[in-house]
Amino acid sequence: MATVTSSSGNTEVVTVRRTEARDVPAISSLFSPFTEDVFGRIDVTYLLELSNLALTLCNEKNEIIAHAAFLDYPNWNITDQAEWEPFLHENYPDNKCTPLNTLFVHLFVAKEGYGAGCSQEIVRKAFILLPDLQFILLFIPAEKRLGFSHSELDLGDVFERIEPAPHSRMERRFTLLACPRHRCHPRLYVRQARMEDYDDLMLIWTPQSETLKETYGEYLLVDLLEREGEENQAAVCEVGGTAVGFMSLCSDVNISLLQECFDLGPFHGLCKPHPEDILEVPRKPSVQGDEDENNQTSQKPEPVSSQNLEHVSAADAAVQKGGAVAVSQTEPLVGNVIDMGTEGSAAPLLETGEDGDLHPVNGGASNVFGIRLFCIDEEYESRSLDFLQYAFNVFPDRDLCVILVPHHVPEFPLIRSFVRAVPSCPSRLGRELYVFHRAGLLTSFNVRKAATSDLEGVKMLIETLSLNENMWNDSKIFTESRKDPDGMPLQAFVAEVLDQVVGVAVTRDEMDTEYIRSHYNIEDFIHFNHHQQEEHGHLFHFVLNPVFHHYAKYFLKEILRLGHKSSLYYPIYPEYVEGKFQHPCAHSLTSALHYMAPVRPRRQIVYPLQELGVSAPSEQVSKDQLKYSLNLINRKLVLESKVCINSRIVVVGASDVGISFLETLIFWPRLKFNNLTLISIHGLPGNDPQSSKYRRFLINSHCFNDEDYAQMSLCSWVNVVVGKMTSINRGAKYVVVSEEKVPYDYLVLCTGQSYQALAPMGEYISEVTSQWPQRYTEKVPSNLFTLNDAQDCLEAARWLEEHRLIRSTGNIIVYGNTIDTYTTVEALLSFGIDGSRIHLVRAPLGSASPCLPEAALERAVGEALAGAGVVVHPDSVLAQWGHGDNGLITWAAFTTASSLLHLQCSAFFSFAYRTLDYDIFKAVIDACLVFDGRVVIDTEFHTNDASIRAAGPLTKFSRRYYRDELTHSNFNSKEIGFELAASMLSLFDSTPRPSSEPPEGSDRLIPVYRRCKVQGGILPGGYNYLHISKPGIPVPLGVELDPYDRGTEIVTGEASHGNYFKIHFSRYNMVDSITCFSKEPFPVSNYICLYGQHERLLNDLYYRWGAGQLTDLYSYFREPWSLAIYHDRFIDLQKELHQILMSEEVPGQQPRLKPGRPSLREPVLRYLRHHRAQLPMYAPTDAYRLLPPAAGSQGLKLGRAGGSGSSSSPTPAQEPS
């Protein structure tokens, strides 16, 4: 906070923050009669779209009293944005402005009388936010053109006038004002520390003592001051003769420990080059790797030395998989864990450790010193980098500076200019390592368009990259023809320091903007209509030496400026897509991805293209192409750094809950999580397209599919440990996976429940006892399958093919009592297995729900099974099985109520026993986490350990809530994962959010989850099945509901005919369940959108049903009127209309506006107009403006676009709001 004083003597306590879109009206209200004369005609919304930095000043009442917008080129269109530097040096030769250190003011407005104080505060904040910023410039028209003196502008004395060159034409047209940094936030003076500084430093040390202790350990200031010598140095920075900061340095660094715990190949192992260094590491194959991926890493790095910059390392730009972990293909799935972030990195000499892995060692002398302790007054912390020049002067023979920081300590300004080293897995150090190279102090970082003469420098930079051929070819194409083979213009840019190429980037125009706009939430970041088509760019390649990693955002900023772009897009294709650039520097040291924002994909409408005909959306919107993850950088984001979170968050289980949790963290706009780890038996889901086609073995929750995984690209942000957690050490905070320790700060258990191998109960057990079911504790036969995910299904299918069971005569037994038995039987039939060889043995139902929610569906499936020849056996208990010489199950015996069933067996699929995995159970119990049949949690997902959270079907609520029957199993897993992430984000995101005091006692209530639960799959007979239901405890079949609670159901078709569609409405006439059973495929995602909608919104469904107009719900929900409801932005329209109605109906007062067409039509028309590309089947919205409001109209209804009939219908009860 700061205080500004008006010209009349009034004071305001103000805070400075970044400008948001909602500030536009208040900013516009600050315009004065002089604003247009000084800055020209300004569209504030458009200006904010282009601003590199926009700051707003607010008072204690949160009223906006000033605003300034800064861009990286001059205002008034004085010259082309890409040419301003030579223009400035020609007309103002005595300046030191460069694109790296200069911004221009394009707008400044303030409350009357507060201009001087506000301008000074905003400029001061700009210098604090951007440490590399040295000059802020402002062009204003000359006084003769303005017609009044510049002193009347109320800018205070923060700016000074820059004299133009003699005879410059600019003198008559414009006046250049400049504010150099030293006027507001001068560079700090750094010197050697003395004992006399003790009293000054204690004023800083004492308030920060606890934080310093957590960050650096136990130190006494007096010891650090007295211990100075050749290896230990101490420095202070002073302002006005008073010490305001302290840094303790040490040249004795344990290099071998750091080499063991971090990937230091790009920094030559923190050692000086040695003639005997070996710079290649043999690679191990990876489950997730392929030949193309293996070629994407560096092989031979060059040493980095500031004295010999022609040998700057190119290995630092290696394309690596971001710290992901996988296992060797030659080892079992539960085997050694390998850090993919280091396997492709170059290293010095090779040494074999105790575990047989190769570790880098180096024969050269140490090339590093460390920062032992650092503290500085908060007011000056943005100038922390001023210490480093002195530090490198103290150790002239060392080129690298390192600092170790605990994971939980937020990134402070000093280390934001350092490079974060990629940790090994597992790292026993428990800290983050940051590295800074001496050459990073150079400020002659210049970006320009590439020229033919740069090719040799580019070749040297990228020669150690496996993708160097692609980059080299694109660079040559640019210099030769400026176009790619498709005729699309290319642009290439190089970054140079001291005339040496240290970075290269290749871009082209993005021509697929309509597809991007319709398939990704791009408008979360930009107002699309304010950008021209040619302003969108596609980033092909980006390589930068890690020495200058802290300049990456400036490199991107210059690409945008020089290329006249406002946005750059970067796609990441899945690993299995050949010929595409995958693994794009996910966490490599020179990654542009670090500064880019991942863009969340949008849910798509499934269009009935044949029925729509010419009214269908354009091919750019509806085309089916390879899915990819999209990343974005634009002018607004390029100087806005995310808050980096280094806390180690370990997620156990790749369930829907776990994936939803990770997805939420990845796409959270203000935070970047550096240490997300997923522990999963089969790694990341969706990485193997072969396993996807076998997913039909199991019922589908429709939370995620392969397209979703491709558009998330979890492998770019999440480390993956392949294996099973077997132990939790709560004291030391690590879990054990395949005998390897994986440390955590926060552990999230999301394993869910899985099918377990069932133990035979004995020959004479004829009924279910309390001991049934039990887990099989011996070695599981290889022909006993418990399918829990797509990889299990793939392995089962391969086993059947390898053992030739598809065409043989052996029996296949499917045993269980869940719907997965039906989907598995259908999958086996689809492989060509004769139905007479398949035996479906039903397990006792017990407390489980029936397979299907409708008796008619059960009958139809039973008829299909009989027609295929599948033998169905009634409730039976597995009694015994027999093994052959090869250890396989050769026969199985079941007891029923009347007899003993004995079956020959070639393969056995078991779906009878679903519970918590035994290893997970044992780990939970041994860790003394409270367990009551499931892991016990509270409403905020906490276990009895503050660092461990749990969610999903493996959990239950504590008994103090008195709702033992209600668990996460009753709710939508994707929603549970989102809420789990939201509950943890408060630990890291300090952004204030609007909140209200929770009602008293709400901490004793179970949360209300609202999303529907979904089941879908293909059942015997080829029936496509879908069941959408409300969350909560399902009502058993045959239970009679109170007539008041029964609601209404509408059914078309018959199950036996394969055209069954049932939709059920609650007593409030809202859709609360949908059941589809069809021979033909149907758009599941569309139908999910119907859940929770009112029948009136569904084109007066009650009326049409009662009038006999409705005979087929499948065709009804394919009609054009319904497509707006399937749009992902429809919920926003509903909220807006709801707010309008609520504002018109004030309790106890007459409505200010009559609800109806005049008040509701405009939001609907705006919605249709804005989404015209996705909804072209609706009449042009301008046509509605010609229609007069109908008397007594109930508003413009989307259903009218394609429906017919009267609006009369049963009067619905009012739903509670």
Q: Between 950 and 620, whose confidence is greater? A: 950
Let me know if 276 is exposed, middle or buried by CB neighbors in 10 A (0-12, 13-18, 19+).
exposed
pLDDT higher than threshold 70 for residue 347 = no
Q: For residue 651, what are its two tokens?
A: 């997620």
Distances 652 to 31, 656, 721 between C-alpha atoms, Å: 55, 12, 9
pLDDT tens column, 1133-1168: 999 998 888 876 655 555 554 545 567 888 888 899
Q: Please state, rounded to an integer, the average pLDDT across all residues of the chain.
A: 83
Is-contact 816 917, C-beta < 8 A? no
pLDDT in tens, 764-778: 655 556 677 888 889
Give the CA radius of gyration of the chain.
Answer: 34
Are 678 and 720 contacting, i.e. CB atoms less than 8 angstroms apart?
A: yes
Within 8 A by CB and 6+ apart from 431, the residues are 404, 405, 406, 407
b or e along 28-57 (b: 16 or more beta carbons within 10 Å of the residue's beta carbon)?
Answer: eebeeeebeebbeebebeebbbbbbbbbbb
Which positions ≥6 away from 738 have C-beta within 8 Å? 334, 335, 336, 337, 723, 724, 726
Which pLDDT band, with edges at 50, 70 and 90, does 19 fall under? very high
What is the model's pLDDT at position 150?
66
670, pLDDT greater than 60:
yes
| Contact of 70 with 105, CB cutoff 8 Å | yes
The DSSP secondary structure of 722-769, one letter per residue, reads ES-EEEEETTTTEEEETTEEEE-SEEEE----EE-PBPP--TT--S--
* Beta strands at 955-957 and 935-937: parallel, antiparallel or unpaired: parallel
Of 983, 976, 1061, 1062, the closest CA to residue 1011 belongs to: 976
What residues does 406 pair with on adjacent strands? 431
Mean pLDDT, to the nearest integer, of 448-472? 80
Distances (CA, A) of 142 to 34, 215, 561: 13, 54, 27
Residues 83 and 4: their CA atoms lie apart, in Å, by 37
Q: Which two tokens stand for residue 146?
A: 């303005």
Condensed to tens digits (0 to 9), the pLDDT of residues 1060-1094 reads: 999 999 999 999 999 999 999 999 999 999 999 99
Amino acid at 250: C
Tokens encoding 245? 């900061």
β strands within 60-214, DSSP E:
64-71, 102-110, 135-141, 160-162, 174-180, 189-192
The CA distance from 159 to 601, in Å, is 45
| Cα four-point dihedral sign 841, 846, 849, 854 | positive
Question: CA–CA distance from 717 to each of 979, 987, 1202 (Å)?
Answer: 20, 20, 45
Check whether 581 has a pLDDT greater than 60.
Answer: no
d(CA 766, CA 879) in angstroms, rounded, equals 9
Amino acid at 607: Y
pLDDT digits (tens, 9 = 90+) for 695-706: 899 999 999 998
| CB-CB contact of 537 with 507 (8 Å) | yes
741 in Cβ contact with 659 (< 8 Å)? no
Q: Per-residue pLDDT tens for 932-977?
A: 999 999 999 999 999 999 999 999 999 988 888 889 999 999 999 9
What are the two backbone dihedrals, phi and then psi, of residue 940, each rounded to the nearest 5 degrees? -105, 20
Nearest C-alpha neighbor of 531 from the set 1166, 46, 42:
46
Q: How far apart are CA 377 and CA 238, in angstroms?
A: 10
DSSP for 562-627, please give it. Answer: HTT-SEEEEEE--TTSTTS--S-SSS-TT-SGGGSEEEPBPP-----HHHHGGGSPPHHHH-----
1107: left (phi over 0), alpha (psi -120 to 50) or beta: alpha
Q: Which has more pLDDT, 345 or 648? A: 648
- For residue 426, whether the previous peptide bond is cis, meaning omega lies within 30 degrees of 0, is yes
Residue-level pLDDT at 281: 52
Helical packing angle, 1157-1170 and 1130-1144, nearest 10° = 160
Half-sphere exposure of 1043 (CA within 13 A, CB side): 0
Which of these, 602, 597, 600, 666, lies nearest to 634 by C-alpha position?
A: 597
What per-residue confidence (pLDDT) applies to 1045?
Answer: 66
pLDDT of 278: 63
Of 176, 66, 46, 68, the C-alpha closest to 127 is: 68
Please report, for residues 91, 140, 153, 155, the alpha-carbon distance to residue 173 in angstroms, rounded to integers and kept in the order given: 12, 9, 17, 20
The pTM (predicted TM-score) of the whole model is 0.88
User: Among 406, 424, 374, 388, which Cα is nearest to 550's?
Assistant: 388
Q: Which amino acid is at 9?
A: G
Q: Are 281 and 346 in contact (CB under 8 A)?
A: yes
pLDDT at 206 over 90: no
Give, in order, the Cα–Cα distances in Å from 1078 to each of 336, 1056, 1060, 1132. Answer: 47, 9, 6, 32
Q: Which among 1014, 963, 831 has a CA at the least distance from the CA of 909?
A: 831
pLDDT at 602 over 50: yes
Rounded Cα distance between 1064 and 1075, Å, is 9
Least confident of 145-149, 417-421, 497-501: 145-149
Outline where DSSP puts E strands in 336-384: 338-339, 349-352, 358-361, 368-376
pLDDT at residue 482 is higher than 50: yes
Mean pLDDT of 303-330: 29
Nearest Cα residue to 132 out of 556, 589, 444: 444
Which range has the worst mean pLDDT, 291-295, 731-735, 880-884, 1112-1116? Answer: 291-295
pLDDT recorded at residue 295: 33
Helix (H, G, I), strand (E, B) or coil at 1196: coil
- Measure Cα distances from 439 to 188, 398, 404, 433 in Å: 20, 11, 20, 19
Per-residue pLDDT tens over the stretch 1109-1127: 999 999 999 999 999 999 9
> Average pLDDT in the 34-42 region?
90
- 3-state SS, residue 815: strand
